[in-house]
Copies of this chain bind each other. A is one copy, B any other.
């Protein structure tokens, strides 16, 4: 009956009821274990979970306190774009607009840690939801990690091919808002300068960069999450 989730819920209730006010200390794991009649490990699991979600702050010896200014940790699911569109009940398709092998612009090369003269595979793709423009994708790919002959990115999106075939190690994601460039405006069918939701991703293996992607989403795009 009293699992660690029940304990977590009860602790959360006391915090929200201000039994344990923000910034205040709460009892030790051992005290709570006695009170709830469970093992300390069970209390630990509950409190650890609340700590990772930003509700509690824990330090050895110092004890556990309720976060004064809780840093809300929102967990965003970032699915493959095809699944994102299909989850809305729409059908996904895409067109490869451009494909070439060339030197990237300096800012991108430097962010990927590449010296001058290093050429990358450039791919420009338009993603469609129910046939209507959904997002504009610009991608730079390290061709050294690709097999020969090059895979056919017209058949399977570069994203999904990479997920299936290339071991990644690390990466980062950034979100921002940017005005549509003339090119983006034309491709997405919006006015130049229109506000686009942009996500940029970089991924790496242990040694070398894999890819840089910039996805520009048309108006109305929202990323949402519960807290």
Contact = CB atoms under 8 A, between A and B. Distances in A.
Given A177-B198, A197-B177, A226-B171, A163 B22 contact: yes
Interface stretch (A73-81, A107-115, A147-155): A73-81
A223 B75 contact: no
A141 B221 CA distance: 26
B72 A226 contact: no
Report copies per complex. 2
Contact of A77 (B73, B77, B179): B73
A183 interface: no
Interface residues of A, number: 54
21 contacts: A22-B164, A54-B77, A68-B164, A71-B77, A72-B173, A73-B76, A74-B75, A76-B76, A170-B226, A170-B227, A173-B225, A173-B227, A174-B223, A175-B224, A177-B178, A177-B197, A177-B198, A177-B217, A179-B193, A201-B227, A203-B227
